[in-house]
Structure 1
Amino acid sequence: MNHPTSPYATADPALRHVIPSPFGQTPRPGLLALTACGNLAVVPATAPVHLDSDHADPDDLCPRCAAAVQDADAHPDIRPHTLCEMCEAPTRHGNLCAPCRQDAHDACTTGRPALSTIDTIRVAAAALGLPAPAVRRDLLDPSTLHVHVHLTHLDQWARWRELFDAGHGTEVNRSRYTHVPGSHAGARVVLIGHGLPALRAAARTTPQPPFGTPRT
């Protein structure tokens, strides 16, 4: 057996799959991780086999994983999108998206309630009149939640930061989003505000009247 079984895995169980190691960090054994072929497989407890020129590829290596390692753009994922039954996010993993599958798998292996913290986040947001966020678990650290919020005005950002106790966190600004650490119900949270840089730029810019508008 190449990978431990899980009812939430989507990768072919008869094959050995490549599990990428972002930033050189090997995912922990037992984690349901994304594979190079775009599916989900459980990380085995055995020592990983590194694919390089000094070692021959295993005979049972997934051919799509092997092709993706050589050229990720040569075999695009053409599976149709569906909506996740848990969070309604678009996904190519059937009735559950990858983060919800990972959360359910983790619940099965640890005995904790699945999605409890994610559900409380949505309830708390609704109570404050905030739109429902997209919540994803960190692929390398499932105990950390990434909360994606799409902002329509600056006041929303202050309310989101207050909800996640992120008032004293240091913001990291990118061209299209801003993220800041926080917490909720004992869970570590990364609050990600999409569109915030553009909103701040618009707030600093004084609207100019159209050319030719009479001035008084």
Structure 2
Amino acid sequence: MSEAKLLKTKPKVTHVIFDVDGLILDTERVYTECLEEICSQFGKTFTWDIKSKQMGRKERESAQIFIDYFNLSITVDEYIEKLRAKLDEKLPSTPLLPGADKLIRHLHHHKIPIALATGSDSWGYSRKISGHKELFSLFHHCVLSSDDPDVKHGKPAPDCFLVCAQRFGDNPRPDEIEVLRSNLARLYRSCGINFELRYLSLKMQQMAPRQVSLQV
């Protein structure tokens, strides 16, 4: 099918769900720095292999993955205490990533409902957005996977996004919702590409990767 025909048949997007870490905020760099420091305390090296296993997981699940991966003799609570002590210092100064502010304000200006679906808990989320409260106030709602009882499974399971979609007040159809995720952004940046937030999406109906151009 030609690109022109594909655009004609594509359902109209009426709602947008955003991931947070690595998409809106440069928190992935902060988490990496903190976890590298924790690893060094135990004579370990923090690599992409373990990072990829932890990304998007609920806090306690992520902690257990880290402990098991490195075979550490600490508890989940001890790990969380160490990590939070470092995050408490660094998260409040986390900058926005290129293109995020512009896209969020563009969608809000055109009255397209937007929401957040993140693996964070309320403790981490409040610190991440502390320097950008006005921007984050533009979102209709936010689902915090680590705190939300309706989210049974953390990412990469789609529960967080599905729960988020259900909380739009006007009950949009699955094919009307775009989910913007950070996976592609991470890939671009890891390759040294100067990437701006323009096309990262999943269709709620399919929960399978595809590209869409969002003109901002």
Q: TM-score, normalised by structure 2?
A: 0.27
Q: Which has the higher contact order (CA 8 A, sep 6+)?
A: 2
Q: TM-score, normalised by structure 1?
A: 0.27
Could you say which structure has the larger radius of gyration? 1
Structure number with the higher helix fraction is 2
Structure number with the higher strand fraction is 1
